[in-house]
Amino acid sequence: MMTSITIDDMEDFARGAAFLGTGGGGDPHAGRLFGESMMRRYGAPEIVAVDDVPDHAHCFTIAMMGAPTVILEKLFNGEDAELALNKLEKYLGIMADYIVPAEIGGINSTLPLAVAARRGLPVVDGDGMGRAFPELQMITYNVYGVPIAPMAIANDHMEVTIIETDDAKSAEDIGRAVAMRMGLSVMLSAYPMTGAQLKKSAVRGTMSLALGIGRAIRKGRQAGDPVAALLGYLRTTKYYKHCAELFDGKVVDLVRETTRGFSIGRCLFEALDGSGRRLEVTFQNEHLIARDDSGVRAMVPDLICMVDRETAEPITAETLKYGQRLKVIGVSAPETMRTKEALACFGPQAFGIDEPFRPIEALIQDRSG
């Protein structure tokens, strides 16, 4: 069982987290550098399994909120994340015993490591999304009964606001408006919970998973086929074992804009085999649905990930460019993210997609059968 993520692990971990970010989650490179900096100064934090957290323990999330296109250019100062945590602790009158990731994607997986190192706290091996999602209510903590508020938001000018509401979607809407006024790149701490609540709501083992994915890609490069190594590793996991290469192609059209506090758009691929086949992926920070000429290939909450076709380096939505040659990979989400309650929160209809959810294993079977 993993007990820590060290500086030597950070490159692999950040790469795996970027893959699980499904196009979003923030700049993994910046998050890696911040995490490494804090570990050099304070040491690597302990990693603790969800089921090893005492029921009475106080668990606090740390995350970055904003549009990835802005976060790419507007770096945090390193103290704003801890400020959000400190203010929420003071507001509640309790101190954090554990840091728990909100999502396992991009910077929002490395950020908890950095803050935990600085505070000398352990990090929980799990999160609330099993991937990344664009909105604060789209999280298993909310689905399974953890209140989002109070929530603290801080920016790089060390300004802080506390939001109190009984509704997670209202917290998202208010928080997004605050984030836009604060520069669309802010730190937050929300969903304060006990260890007992954590055990009922978290997606387990995702920090370990990210590290395993990153290692598989690195070793696959050494062996000459990193995409095959990545898929092979995923098939050994408990929740993410249904996976397939959906498309191998070149970006021939890209529409992307920052609006309503999100990076929204679509990316069109054309196959490299000369067949003329095309695949379109739409995104709202994260990739939402992939369609080709004959129909849907994958959809939320299952993962749609893009990697460089030669190196399997994960590509985020904000770094997509015309002419890139990429492979699109579909991966199953954990069952706790496919329940009726979960799909109501972050299934296709939650994004305005007029398609019933079909798991990727069924879509793969349709194509092979």
Q: Angle between the 226-234 and 206-223 helix axes, to the nearest 10 degrees? A: 150
- When pLDDT is averaged across residues 290-317 and rounded to a whole number, the result is 96
Residues 51 and 132 in one domain: yes
Amino acid, single-letter form, for residue 280:
E
CATH number at residue 193: 3.40.1610.10
Of 243, 239, 246, 233, which Cα lies nearest the Cα of 338?
A: 239
Residues 200 and 121 in one domain: yes
Domain membership of residue 290 (yes or no) is yes
Question: Of 204, 239, 266, which marks where a domain is finished?
Answer: 204
Q: Angle between the 107-119 and 80-92 helix axes, to the nearest 10 degrees? A: 70
C-alpha–C-alpha distance, residues 336 and 150, integer Å: 25
pLDDT in tens, 113-138: 999 999 999 999 999 999 999 999 99
pLDDT band at 361 (very low <50, low <70, confident <90, very high): very high
Residues 258 and 354 in one domain: yes
Boundaries of domain holding 74: 7-204
Q: What is the reported pLDDT for 284?
A: 92
pLDDT in tens, 137-188: 999 999 999 999 999 999 989 999 999 999 999 999 999 999 989 887 899 9
Q: 5 pLDDT exceeds 80?
A: yes
Residues 31 and 176 in one domain: yes
Q: How many domains does the chain have?
A: 2
pLDDT band at 285 (very low <50, low <70, confident <90, very high): confident
Q: Which two tokens stand for residue 125?
A: 């091996």
Q: 369 pLDDT exceeds 70?
A: no
Residues 133 and 236 in one domain: no
Residues 192 and 302 in one domain: no
Q: What is the reported pLDDT for 263?
A: 82
Q: What is the reported pLDDT for 30?
A: 83
Of 261, 288, 281, 291, which Cα lies nearest the Cα of 324?
A: 281
CATH number at residue 316: 2.40.390.10
Domain membership of residue 213 (yes or no) is no
**Integer CA distances (angstroms), 30 to 109, 113, 194, 318, in order:** 12, 13, 30, 14
pLDDT in tens, 58-112: 999 999 987 666 666 766 677 899 999 999 999 999 999 999 999 998 889 999 9
**Integer CA distances (angstroms), 280 to 83, 194, 251, 256, 284, in order:** 40, 42, 10, 13, 14
Q: What is the reported pLDDT for 86?
A: 97
- When pLDDT is averaged across residues 290-296 and rounded to a whole number, the result is 94
**Integer CA distances (angstroms), 300 to 234, 304, 355, in order:** 18, 8, 10
Residue with tokens 């937050």: 188
Q: 189 pLDDT exceeds 70?
A: yes
Residues 128 and 244 in one domain: no
Q: Which two tokens stand for residue 338?
A: 């496919």
C-alpha–C-alpha distance, residues 91 and 152, integer Å: 9
pLDDT band at 333 (very low <50, low <70, confident <90, very high): very high
Residue 43, phi then psi, degrees to nearest 5 = 95, 160
pLDDT band at 2 (very low <50, low <70, confident <90, very high): low
Residues 193 and 240 in one domain: no
Residues 144 and 280 in one domain: no
C-alpha–C-alpha distance, residues 156 and 80, integer Å: 6
- When pLDDT is averaged across residues 332-339 and rounded to a whole number, the result is 98
Domain membership of residue 217 (yes or no) is no
Residues 53 and 195 in one domain: yes
Domain membership of residue 314 (yes or no) is yes
Q: What is the reported pLDDT for 243?
A: 98
Domain membership of residue 170 (yes or no) is yes
- CB of 245 closer than 8 Å to CB of 227: yes
Q: 30 in helix, strand or coil? A: helix
Residues 146 and 25 in one domain: yes
pLDDT in tens, 25-54: 877 888 899 999 999 999 999 999 999 999
SS3 content of the chain, % helix, strand, coil (to 5): 40, 25, 35
pLDDT in tens, 80-91: 999 999 999 999
Average pLDDT, the chain: 94
Q: 104: buried, middle or exposed (CB in 10 Å: 19+, 13-18, 0-12)?
A: buried
pLDDT in tens, 227-273: 999 999 999 999 999 999 999 999 999 999 888 778 899 999 999 99
- When pLDDT is averaged across residues 3-22 and rounded to a whole number, the result is 95
Residues 198 and 53 in one domain: yes
Q: What is the reported pLDDT for 119?
A: 96
Q: 276 pLDDT exceeds 90?
A: yes
Torsion sign across C-alpha atoms 67, 254, 16, 331: positive
C-alpha–C-alpha distance, residues 42 and 188, integer Å: 22
pTM (global) more than 0.85: yes
- CB of 264 closer than 8 Å to CB of 284: yes
Domain membership of residue 113 (yes or no) is yes
Residue with tokens 């490069």: 221
C-alpha–C-alpha distance, residues 153 and 44, integer Å: 26
